[in-house]
Structure formats: structure tokens, C-alpha cells
Amino acid sequence: MKYLFVSGLLLSLLPAWLPLAAQRSKPAYQWFDSQGRRVDFERVLKACLSHEVILFGELHNNAIAHWMQYELAAEGHTRRPGLILAGEMFETHQQGWLDRYIAREIDEKTLLDSAGLWPNYLTDYAPIVNLARDWGLPVVATNIPRRYARLVFRQGLESLGGLAPEELALMTPLPFPIDTTLPSYRRMVEMMGGHGGAAANFVAAQAIKDATMAHFILKALQGGRWLLHLNGSYHSDDREGIAWYLRQARPQLRLLTLSTVEQNDLGKLEAESRGKADFILAVPKTMTKTH
């Protein structure tokens, strides 16, 4: 009887002990679904394979997010050939350099010296681009060149009226809709101190980025292929930003959203992160930053 009592006591303490054990193991990440239920990598991968476009919302300096992007691309293309890679960090005027690099017409040094890529390219994006290069997969630049987004921020959308046709080809067709009632855009207005020229221009600059990325995603999507797009989470959280423009252009598009958040405890998803995306990648706040 004594041994049975001890065994029963240990079993009764087990549920309370498990969270402590998980904390001591120091997990580097945890996937959750939109409702905050824990899921594993395989569940996320299978969901990706059944969609046409996956928007992977990253934190630009988060090593775990970049690693997960690589793993989803590598395993995803193995199971469902025909992957297209695309990203916010590649601007449309850089497409030619990316194409030449993928085709092995230039080396990495020439790409870096000529294309004007983000300063964290080597640490965060070179691995997945080189994966595409090894397999001959396209890498699509989707973002509007920053000089035009900066022009909109300073002078408004009207400033684009005098651009040459070859310049206009680098962005979403004009004019394009902007829904200023979207919560993400409303927050920008509040951040800029309310409605006014500066606030309107700030939202317009963000919107033309989102619209341009959506435009070039759909332009690249063809022949039954599927596309993994890398972007800052604020461009697709809550199915706004890029996701909103994709849905406006193609309502029946099979679209999946992923987001990355940082939190102290990976035992459960924090309430404010629920619903951000179809799947949320939670990473410890103490995780090493790449830059």
C-alpha cells in the first residue's frame, strides 16, 4: 500500500512538474495555430503544401524565423516540386541581378557589389537564395524600390504621376485602392498624430509596398506552382497588408499566413498574438539577434 501511495503521489504531481521541465529544457521555438493550440512543424508544413501562396511574416533579425523559412522551403519543395521563392527584401529593380545569380551567370560577390541588397543578406537570406540556386528555383523580387516609397512618403502618391513607363512597371499599377479603415493603417495614422498630410503619406507609402508585393506575387504565380513569400510580419498580420491586396485581386486564392512573435514563455501563446495568422511561430525574447 505504501508503494501504491507513493506512485499515486508522483503521478498527481506530474502535470505540475511538466511545465517546469519544459522551461528547463529551454526550447528555441514553438508553433501555435491561430487559436493558440500547440502544433508541430509537420502540421505547418502540410498546411503550406495545400496552399498556393504562403506569407511568412518574419522578424527581420530573428534567426529562428529565417531557419524555419529555409526548412519549409527545403522540405516543401522536396514533397511538392515547383516552389517559387519571393520576398520583401528584394526590390523589383534587383530582379535582373537575382535572375543572373540563380542562372550562375554571376557569383555572389558580383551580386552583393551590384544589386544593393539588404545589409543582413548574407546572414539571413543567402542560405535560402542559395538553396533556390542549387535547385534552379526562381527568386522573385516583389517590393517597390525604396526610392519610390520614399517619394510617396515625402510628397504623396501624386508625385508618381511624372514617372516614366519603365519606372511605373516596377510597382503596382496606378491608381490602386487604399482602405484606411484597416486597423494596421489606422494605427499608422495614430502614430503620426492623426489625419493630415504626413499621416496620409505615411499610410500611402506602406500601402504601395503592400500592393506592389501582392501584384508581383500574383504575376509570378503560374502553372500550378506554389509560392513562399518572406516579409516583415507587419505586412501580413491579421490578413491585412499584402494579404488584403491578394484577396482583393483573387478572392479564391488559397492563401496561408504565418507570423513570428517573441515572448518570455513558450508554454502558451500570449493572448494578443492569437489570430495574427493561421500559424504563429513563438520565439523566446532572449533569442540571439542576427543584426
Q: Which among 234, 236, 286, 233 is positioned nearest to 260, based on CA atoms?
A: 233
Total Cβ atoms within 10 A of residue 89:
21
**pLDDT-based confidence at 223, cuts 50/70/90?**
confident
Q: What is the mean pLDDT of residues 98-108?
A: 98
Residue with cell 498624430: 193
What confidence tens digit (pLDDT) does each residue in 40-78 have?
A: 999 999 999 999 999 999 999 999 999 999 999 999 999
Instruction: Evaluate whether 52 touches 253 at the Cβ level (below 8 Å).
Output: yes
CATH of the domain at 55: 3.40.50.11550
> What angle (nearest 5°) sits at the alpha carbon of residue 85, between those of residues 79 and 90?
165
pLDDT at 213 over 50: yes
Which DSSP string corresponds to 90-118? Answer: EEGGGHHHHHHHHTTSS-HHHHHHHH---
Q: Which among 257, 261, 258 is positioned nearest to 287, based on CA atoms?
A: 261
Indicate the DSSP class of residue 62. B
- Strand, helix or coil at 57? strand
Half-sphere exposure in the Cβ direction for 150 (13 Å, CA): 3
Give the total number of structural domains in the chain: 1
Q: Is the residue at 10 inside a domain?
A: no
Q: Is the residue at 14 inside a domain?
A: no
**Domain of 149?**
27-284
**pLDDT-based confidence at 196, cuts 50/70/90?**
low
